[in-house]
Structure 1
Amino acid sequence: MLVLLDHPVPSSVEPLLKGPHVLHRPTLGARPGALRGRALARDRPDVLLTRSVPAAAETAAWGAAAGERPLVVVLLDRAAGPGGARGGVARVRRPPARRLPGAGPAGSRLRVTVCPSAGAAEPPADLYARALVTAERRFLAERVGPVLAGHLGAVRPEAASVVLVGAGVVNLLTGLRLLRAGHRVTFYDSGPDPRSGAPWTAFGCSRGGGDARMFTLTEADGYFGSPGGGPLPFAQPVKDKGWGLADLARLGPAERAWTEDNARVPGWLARSFTEDVLGYNLTSDRLWRDLRHDVPELFHGVGLREGILRIYSDQDVLEAHAARQRSLTDRDFEILSADRVSARHPALAAAQRAGAFVGGIEVDGFTVQVHRFLGTVTDAAERAGALFHWGRPVDALVPGEGGAPDGIRCRDGETVRADHYVLSPGAYGEALLRGTASAGLIHGMAGAWLTLPDPGRGLKNSLKITRSGHTAADANVTVTEGPDGRSFLTVGSGYGWTGTDPDNLDPTQLEALHAAVDDTASSFFPDAFDEARRSGLLERSRRYCVRPWTASSLPVFETTRTAGGGLLLITGGHNTGGFAQAPVTAEAVASALRGESHPMHIDYHPNRLRMFYGQKDARLPE
């Protein structure tokens, strides 16, 4: 994406304009007409960021050079009314574009979107950050919107056969949503039935990791830089406080390109991506509540526990996270000092005395034991008529006429066809996704798990721990229950990048990841950790799961027509938020199969980052 900015800006704005995505020509706006028209024709920007709408002659010159592309104008209006959201860059939800009259066909392609000021007190850098966000969103919508509309417009909104590949928590809830809409649903999964007692290594991420998942409004946060301000340490070994879990000798150009894509996301765009994700968390919050009301049996016997305590090792980080939490909810809460936290939650008294944390906040959210939850959802889907094929890996899409997908091919050679397909293979779909726009976007990120006996000293809520600068910087501690009713603490933490191959694990780095999680567990629950070590529970409970991550920190939602006139949908790459966003992902899938648009179809388009960077492989599915 190329933005042409045609007027002077304050010095505080100039850092936003660095990089190849903005072409700053500060004198053009003062002399609109032939001069600006020639610049638009010569530079052929995707977006004009301006204070004055181009005249017909300028539009004609720009349009003749731009071919059939829409001509996108973002008009800054400092005199307009409030346009910001609380906290940081405002969330811009693709404001409607106006078509203004122009010269011939070029004028009919002109799209003008106003970016208003939030008021005289708004810092100029905030205004221009929002303007750039508006530009990127409008550019994205104009590029992918018509193609998506064509795909959805051809869908027959009626009950149909749907094959879902992958039976993790995202696709299971998607399948249940489709069953409730009257579709005929069949699952294929490479792993065993999650209700079985198969070894944990036989399963994917949802069933293979610890028996715990958490929902808060800030799950699936964006990951764009290290605490020191540099790029994330994907290729730095875990033992050196990096995120590199892979055998580095096995990484190739694809992995290097992926890490480079992550490192060069501008700060304003990174914040925009994160706010997209957090916005869908807000929607998921409502959908989770609806699901608990409409299908309460899904939550019986799954260890549902309300409320999350977040604790922090750094005061500045605590206050920043509290401010962000307030920007997302109207619920009032206070920052608790460390001694007040331990008074409310005596299980943390030893950690408080050791100075392991400075304070915390109590926020809305819940936790479940996800292994049990997978069982209840699978049971409900079977009762509703779903068919499950466990231990049936799907390795490829079957091409049809013109190359459009016309079925899926199982590893045993069988070809399966249906009206629609929904692929959600987690981190294990590299072969299956070959030939799609999602191919190569999803890499593996391992996290480690362990279990401790519950100290039984008043840990009322599951925890989210932030240890600034630690190898296991973010940890979830879920209060769980064993088969015999005994209470446990399930600890999950750590980042271990595997590249495109989720099985590319360096044993030395995996051990370092486990050691980092051990350190968190022992620092916050020293007595329980010692007991777990003595009893052998610590060693028995150690495991890991490989989560699907993207360089953009945006999940993927791909929409493609099949050879038979149906849809192929790809969902995934949810980073640490697959469970959190499962209900809203299911709703986006259901909307597509009704032939209706959903904001996620555009916001999570697989080519979003590629198109921003102007990469040649940012093709749009036909």
Structure 2
Amino acid sequence: MLVLLDHPVPTSVELLLSGTPVLRRPALGSRPGALRGRALARDRPDVLLTRSMPTAAETAAWGAATGDRPLLVVLLDRTAGPDGARGSATRAHRPNGRRLPGTGTAGPRLRVTACPSAGAAEPPADLYARALATAERRFLAERMGPVLAGHLGTARPEAASVVLVGAGVVNLLTGLRLLRDGHRVSFYDSGPDPRSDAPWTSFGCSRGGGDARMFTLTEADGYFASPGGGPPPFAQPVKDHGWGLADLARLGPAEVSWTEDNARVPSWLARSFTEDVLRYNLASDRLWRELRHDAPELFHGVGLRKGILRIYSDQDVLEAHVARQRSLTERHFEILPADRISARHPALAAAHRAGAFVGGFEVDGFTVQVHRFLGAVADAAERAGAVFHWGRPVDGLTPGEGGAPDGISCRDGETVRADHYVLSPGAYGEALLRGTASAGLIHGMVGVWLTLPDAGRRLRNSLKITRSGHTAADANVTVTEGPDGRPFLTVGSGYGWTGADPDNLDPTQLDALYAAVDDTASSFFPDAFDAARRSGLLERSRRHCVRPWTASSLPVFETVRTAGGGLLLITGGHNTGGFAQAPVTAEAVAAALHGESHPMHFDYHPNRLRMFYGQKNARLPE
């Protein structure tokens, strides 16, 4: 995406533009007409960011140089669109209704989006950040809209056969949603049945990690800058307070490219991406509530516990998180000092005395024991007619006429065909995704788990702990129960990047990650930690899972047309939010198979970041 900025901007905005593909021509806006028209024709930008509407002659010159491509204008500091309508509505505009040179019979397609200032108190950098985000989203929609419409137009609204590859929590809830629509659903998963007692190392992320998952409105947050400034320390070893858990000698060009993609996302685009993700958390909140109402059997016996307590080691971070939470919901959040939290939750009394946290606040949300939840969803899917093929690895896509996918290839040599396919392989799908736009986008990020006893049932709510500057900076503590009803605390935390290979684990760095989570557990629950160590529970409960991460911090939703006229959909890369966004992902899949558009099809398009930078490998799907 190339933006032409035609007017002077304050220094704060100049800093904002760093790393952004913007052509700055500050003299053009004060001299609109032939000069700006020549610049538009010469530079052929995708977007004009301006304070004054282009004239018919300028638009003609721009349109003649760019052919049939839509001409996008973001108009700043206006309270009305080009036709006088107030607000930031988007309008199509054809000057004077005349045919313009080089544009065909329809004339140039001018799309104007007004981006009014929020008022004199709004910092200029905030206004331009909104304007650039508007331009990027509009550019994406204009480029991808016709392609996605063409793909969705091939879907038949009637019930069809659907093969889902991967049976983690995202695809299981997706399959259950498709069964409600009348589709014939079958699953293929390389691991054993999650309802079995197979070793935890034989499962994927959903069943292989700790028996706990959490939903709040801020799951799947963006990961772009470390507290000290700069990008996250992916290649810095965990033992040196970094996120690098891989054997660094085995990293190659794919990992270098991935980390560079993350590092160069400008601050305004990072914020825009994060806002998109959090918006889907809001949608998932509604869908989770509906699911609990419509299918209560899924939540019986799975350790459902409502309400989350967030606690912090740093007052400034606490206040910033309260402000963000308030931006997402109308609910009032009271900052609770550490002494009040300790009185309400005696399990945290020792941590309070040691000064481990300064305060916190309570938010809406819930936790479940995800292993039990997977079993409940699988049971419900089987009752509705789903067929499961456990222990059946899928190695790739079978190409059909013109190279379009025409089935999935199982490792045992069988080719499986259906009307539609939904792939959600977690961090383990690189071979399966080969040839798609999603290939290479998803890397592995290890999180580790341990369990402590809570004999006195002294923790009322599951927790989110934020320890600023700590190796295990963010930890979830979930109140759980064993098979006999005994209470436990399941602690999960850590960032351990593996690169493209989820099995590239350096044992030394993995031990360092375990040690960091041990420190969190012992700092906040010293008595329970000592009891777990003495009884052997601590060692027995240690496990890790590999989460699917993307450099952009945007999940992936890819739509591909199959050789048979159906759809192949790829979902994943949810970072730390696969469970949280599972219901809304299921809705987006169901919409696609019904031939309907869903905002996620655009927002999570795998080429979004590539298209922004104009990379050559940002090909449009056929």
Fold shared per TM-score above 0.5: yes
- Match for 2:93 among 99, 106, 114? 99
Alignment of 1:170-569 (within 5 A): 170-456=170-456, 458-569=458-569
CA distances 1:34-85 after superposition (whole Å, capped 9, x unpaired): 111111111111100011221222122212222332111111134459xxxx
- Per the alignment, residue 84 of structure 2 pairs with none
Contact 2:90 2:111 in 1 (8 A): no
Residue 191 of structure 1 and its aligned partner are, at CA, apart by 0.2
TM-score (norm 2): 0.97
CA distances 1:103-129 after superposition (whole Å, capped 9, x unpaired): 433743211111122123222111111
1:100 is matched by which residue type in structure 2?
R
Residue 455 of structure 1 and its aligned partner are, at CA, apart by 4.4
Equivalent-residue separation in structure 1 for 2:7 and 2:607 (angstroms) = 30
SS of aligned partner of 2:521: helix
Contact 2:50 2:74 in 1 (8 A): yes
2:93 is matched by which residue type in structure 1?
R
2:208 is matched by which residue type in structure 1?
G
RMSD: 1.3
CA distances 1:469-514 after superposition (whole Å, capped 9, x unpaired): 0000000000000001100000000000001100000000000000
Equivalent-residue separation in structure 1 for 2:599 and 2:478 (angstroms) = 32
Contact 1:80 1:117 in 2 (8 A): no
- Per the alignment, residue 45 of structure 1 pairs with 45
- Per the alignment, residue 593 of structure 2 pairs with 593
**Aligned residues with identical type, % of pairs:** 87
Contact 2:210 2:543 in 1 (8 A): yes
Residue 20 of structure 1 and its aligned partner are, at CA, apart by 4.6
Alignment of 1:101-120 (within 5 A): 101=95, 103-104=99-100, 105=103, 107-120=107-120
- Per the alignment, residue 128 of structure 2 pairs with 128
- Per the alignment, residue 56 of structure 2 pairs with 56
SS of aligned partner of 2:156: coil
Equivalent-residue separation in structure 2 for 1:20 and 1:128 (angstroms) = 12
SS of aligned partner of 1:620: coil
Contact 1:98 1:113 in 2 (8 A): no
- Per the alignment, residue 88 of structure 1 pairs with none
1:605 is matched by which residue type in structure 2?
H
Unaligned residue ranges in structure 1 (runs of 5+): 82-91
CA distances 1:149-171 after superposition (whole Å, capped 9, x unpaired): 11111211110000000000000
SS of aligned partner of 2:228: coil
2:94 is matched by which residue type in structure 1?
L
Residue 392 of structure 1 and its aligned partner are, at CA, apart by 0.2
CA distances 1:394-417 after superposition (whole Å, capped 9, x unpaired): 010011111111100001110000
Equivalent-residue separation in structure 2 for 1:438 and 1:228 (angstroms) = 31
Equivalent-residue separation in structure 2 for 1:549 and 1:539 (angstroms) = 27
Contact 2:71 2:108 in 1 (8 A): no
Equivalent-residue separation in structure 2 for 1:205 and 1:494 (angstroms) = 14
Equivalent-residue separation in structure 2 for 1:468 and 1:325 (angstroms) = 18
Count of residues in correspondence between the two structures: 611
Q: Aligned in 2, Cα 1:380/1:245: closer, same or farther, shift over 3 Å? A: same
Equivalent-residue separation in structure 2 for 1:45 and 1:490 (angstroms) = 52
Equivalent-residue separation in structure 2 for 1:131 and 1:217 (angstroms) = 25
SS of aligned partner of 1:456: coil
Unaligned residue ranges in structure 2 (runs of 5+): 82-86
SS of aligned partner of 2:11: coil
Q: Aligned in 2, Cα 1:58/1:501: closer, same or farther, shift over 3 Å? A: same
Equivalent-residue separation in structure 1 for 2:2 and 2:570 (angstroms) = 28
SS of aligned partner of 1:98: strand
Contact 2:155 2:594 in 1 (8 A): yes
Residue 98 of structure 1 and its aligned partner are, at CA, apart by 2.5
CA distances 1:345-403 after superposition (whole Å, capped 9, x unpaired): 11100000000000000000000000000000000000000000000000100111111
Contact 1:59 1:103 in 2 (8 A): no
Equivalent-residue separation in structure 2 for 1:617 and 1:17 (angstroms) = 24
Query: Relative to structure 2, which stretch is displaced further, 467-476 or 2-11?
Result: 2-11
Q: Aligned in 2, Cα 1:97/1:442: closer, same or farther, shift over 3 Å? A: farther
Residue 12 of structure 1 and its aligned partner are, at CA, apart by 2.3
Equivalent-residue separation in structure 1 for 2:398 and 2:366 (angstroms) = 41
Please state if 1:28 is matched with 2:6: no
Contact 1:76 1:131 in 2 (8 A): yes
1:546 is matched by which residue type in structure 2?
V
